[in-house]
A and B are shown apart, each in its own frame.
Chain A
């Protein structure tokens, strides 16, 4: 297969999104908040629609702030329902995200002729259109595909967040009491993480859709967790799996003529199930072999 610049751009964008999602997903998984991440990615939909309506564009600060706020509100709301209303936590998550998602869908249907968003885009995005959605500056210079820039910014911010707050995240994830004792604001860390999750959902939404963001957030870390328990290894493996999913996903979608985001999720799922099946006995043996190879 010859080098195809469009394929390269799509795979690059997909990989950057998958890495941002996976980095956050590692911490979501370890904090037992995988379903909260799922809930947030559904719940930001009304925020996206409102911000879109106000600012009139799919990009820009308004979008990020609007949806980020809705994501944090959803988190606060879930916690309010389970702590103050005393509703069991799984039901709090379920009610919050289904109601917010329903509001978002109704808004989209009502405003169908006013805004350039539709139900399909919400579901699985349009990463295939990334190369033709160009960023053109005021003077008319073509700077390249816009979504790629957005995902680059997103990846930079997510990496920076994790790099800067690595210690805080790590401590508050593994030992909440200790974190509180040494004066760490666990609530702050939590909302920071949730804010980043919302922002990443918004930023990736256009490319992979609101529901499949979850696949990229949860599945690669879960797969990696079956192979290693070391946090740094976990992150490295997650990043590798994210890139692999986006690379193979693109060609699977090309081959099947289907949604690329869906194919990325399917490839990630394939590795997940493969690891689960191998996990029961084979993984320890494979790891031993690998370490022997390194020594030799």
Chain B
């Protein structure tokens, strides 16, 4: 708790610096990532993040220290080379893009590992922080780093805002972008550069292996809350900020913990919660909607059964005979009967069920829709009367009042369906 207050009151200028640094990089990565995600280039981001390793090592070899300027330049160089290699090889050979991405990624990483192990063998003391670049350590950010990484992140954010409209058109409709005369090739080059830069800004805090997650996961999670690009950017940025700062805090409390994995864990947690509980598209939401729909269908069928009995002159049905109508579904049927009683559609008089007035109206509506649809199918689609029942069984639950009106009008307010059953209406007496 003490740590918590100390960290979040920002009384320590170092902590403040780390938080500013990781916030800027989370924001820029999430913004770039949203566009990469929509452009279906998520795995190119993964390749770039692995490919900056040889660049980082090259920078060490040349400069002999951890000067952030050299590191960023080296990383940007190999990251860019990797992007170029992927595009070039997938255009000029018959290899599939995913094979090319996986090959280039692992080759660059392999070369990086060779360089890194060789550097470690030299035993240079100033290289001790080299492995921070693999899994990241936000706490190792110092003032000099912050200037470089912060400046880059700001540049990325501003470029995205400045070219927002152009990128939007490019991602959603490339041929339209070309036809309105946008320089798509140049925009793409700019965008790829921004993607490499976004990865590069993250290498010290998040590390090369997991930086891809910062591009992919916030956008994927945000997609489940909105379909609008501007909102999606905001949501992705806030998810990314929350996880970035949490990761930095954990590294602060437990200094031997690498930051990258923790940021990724928090991000993934947010993403999975979004997948399951999102109001619009979550798995749970869909599941509940489907179950409610199935329950409604079942209740509709019970009402129909009661109405059918009524047409034959029986106003009451015993609970058992309703159960017998739906063999093997007694639990579901009991539930629906209870629900219908609660809604006052039916009454239960010592095990004998009858429709209330309200229930009768509803039952008539369902049967009417069923029969109207059957009639429409035979009259307008020339389908034989004995083939229309199944389709009507499905559509009776779906047809809206507006559609019902239109059907009724087009069929000229018919009296009977193709099987000569009367189409029940509210004004009928019975």
* A→B interface (CB under 8 Å): 29, 32-35, 37-38, 81, 84-88, 90-91, 93-95, 98-99, 101-103, 105-106, 109, 112, 119-120, 123-124, 209, 211-212, 214-215, 217-219, 221-222, 225-226, 252-253, 256-259, 261-266, 268-269, 272-273, 276, 279-280
Docked Cα-Cα span, A154 to B260, in Å, equals 33
Chain B residues, CB < 8 A from A257: 118, 121
Give the nearest-CB partner of B216 in chain A: A94
Q: Which residues on the B side are within 8 Å of A219 (C-beta)?
A: 103, 106-107
- B302 on interface, CB distance cutoff 8 Å: no
Chosen A-B contacts, 6 in total, with CB atoms closer than 8 Å, are A34-B101, A37-B102, A93-B42, A105-B258, A217-B102, A226-B93
Query: Are A86 and B281 interface neighbours, CB within 8 A?
Result: yes
Nearest CB of A to B56, in Å: 14
Bound CA span A103–B209, Å: 13
The interface residues of chain A lying within 8 Å CB-to-CB of B99 are 29, 32, 34, 218, 221-222, 225
Q: Are A85 and B283 in contact (CB under 8 A)?
A: yes
Tell me if B314 is interfacial: C-beta within 8 Å of chain A.
Answer: no
CA A256 to CA B117, docked complex, whole Å: 9
Whether B89 sits at the interface, judged by CB under 8 Å, is yes
| Given A99-B264, A212-B113, A276-B93: A266 touches B107 (CB 8 Å cut-off) | yes
Q: Are B134's CB and A106's CB within 8 A?
A: no
Inter-chain contacts of A84 with B (CB < 8 A): 283
Total interface residues on B, using CB and 8 Å?
60
B210 close to A258 (CB less than 8 A) = no
Question: Are A269's CB and B43's CB within 8 A?
Answer: no
Q: How far is the CB of A272 from chain B (nearest CB, A)?
A: 6
A221 to B98, CA, bound (A): 13
Q: Bound complex: CA of A87 vs CA of B223, how far in Å? A: 9
Most buried by A among B103, B108, B110, B114: B110
Q: Does A106 lie within 8 Å of B110, measured CB to CB?
A: no
Contact B95 A226 (CB under 8 A): yes
Q: Are A214 and B95 in contact (CB under 8 A)?
A: no
Cα(A93)–Cα(B98), bound, Å = 12
B135 within 8 A of A: yes
Asked if residues A123 and B114 are in contact (CB atoms below 8 Å), the reply is no
Q: How far is the CB of A102 from chain B (nearest CB, A)?
A: 4
Identify 15 new A-B residue pairs, CB closer than 8 A, beyond the known A98-B210, A214-B105. A29-B99, A34-B102, A90-B43, A93-B43, A94-B217, A95-B217, A98-B212, A98-B217, A109-B258, A123-B113, A218-B103, A226-B93, A263-B114, A265-B107, A269-B111
Return chain B residues, CB-CB under 8 Å to A37: 102
What distance in Å separates the Cβ of B139 from its nearest Cβ neighbour in chain A?
Answer: 14
Provide the main secondary structure of the chain A interface.
helix
A276: which of B89, B101, B260, B265 is its contact (CB, 8 Å)?
B89
Whether B268 lies near A34 (C-beta < 8 A) is: no
Chain A residue numbers with a CB within 8 Å of B89 are 276
Nearest-Cβ distance from residue B27 to partner chain A, whole angstroms: 19
- Residues of chain B lying within 8 A (CB to CB) of residue A262: 110-114, 116-117
B101 / chain A contacts, CB cutoff of 8 Å: 34-35
A105 and B268 within 8 A (CB): no
CB <8 Å contact, B118 and A87:
no
Q: Across chains A and B, which 5 residue pairs bring their CB atoms closest together, nearest first? A: A265-B110, A269-B107, A262-B113, A215-B106, A99-B268
B268 adjacent to A218 (CB under 8 Å):
no
Cα distance A211–B281 in the bound complex, in angstroms: 34
Report B-chain residues with C-beta under 8 Å of the C-beta of A88: 37, 40, 42
Shortest Cβ gap from B88 to chain A (Å)? 8
Q: Knowing A101-B209, A123-B113 are in contact, say whether A106-B95 is a contact too (CB < 8 A).
A: no
Q: Is the CB of A102 within 8 A of B118?
A: no
- B178 in the interface (beta carbon within 8 A): no
Contact between chains at B43 and A87 (CB < 8 Å): no
Contact, CB under 8 Å: A91 / B256: no
Contact indicator per residue, chain B 236-270, by CB within 8 Å of chain A (1) or not (0) = 00000000000000000000111011101100100
Report the minimal beta-carbon distance from B52 to chain A, rounded to whole angstroms. 14
Most A C-beta atoms less than 10 A away, residue of B100, B212, B262, B264:
B264
Q: Which residues of the other chain, A, contact B135 by a CB distance below 8 angstroms?
A: 105, 119
Q: Is the Cβ of A98 less than 8 Å from the Cβ of B109? A: no
